Amino acid sequence: MPNDDNPRIKNEEQYEALRDKGMSKEKAARIANSSDSGKKGGKAEPYEERTKKELYEKAKEIGIEGRSKMNKQELIKALRNH
């Protein structure tokens, strides 16, 4: 059931489940607000199969600082831990 106190969260149930798993508010909100929120995952290309430029753009999209100085492996680690 959506929480009227936080109208910016599209999938409140998923958001709460992610928070219960220990994710940050920012990361849980980003996932719960994605266009395919609540659908089964596993269809995205693994980070290792993406180019450094693609990883950089994803890091930029979610606001990872210091991304311009990171190599591909560092970008992957930062994206997974954000």
Same domain, yes or no: 30 and 58: no
Are 32 and 6 part of one and the same domain? yes
- Please give the tally of structural domains in the chain: 2
As a whole number, mean pLDDT of residues 44-61 equals: 92
Q: Where does the pLDDT of residue 51 fall: very low under 50, low under 70, confident under 90, or very high at 90 and above? A: very high
Instruction: Kindly report which listed range (10-19, 29-38, 52-61) carries the lowest average pLDDT score.
Output: 29-38
Are the CB atoms for 28 and 15 separated by under 8 Å? yes
Same domain assignment for residues 2 and 33: yes
What range does the domain containing 16 cover? 1-37
**How far, in Å, CA of 51 to CA of 56, rounded?**
9
Strands (E), 14-81: none
Same domain, 8 and 33: yes
Same domain? 9 vs 26: yes
Query: Are 81 and 57 found together in one domain?
Result: yes
Compute the CA torsion angle 5, 58, 79, 64 (nearest 10 deg).
Answer: -70
**Beta carbons of 59 and 78 less than 8 angstroms apart:** yes
pLDDT at position 39 is 60
Q: What 3-state DSSP class applies to 58?
A: helix
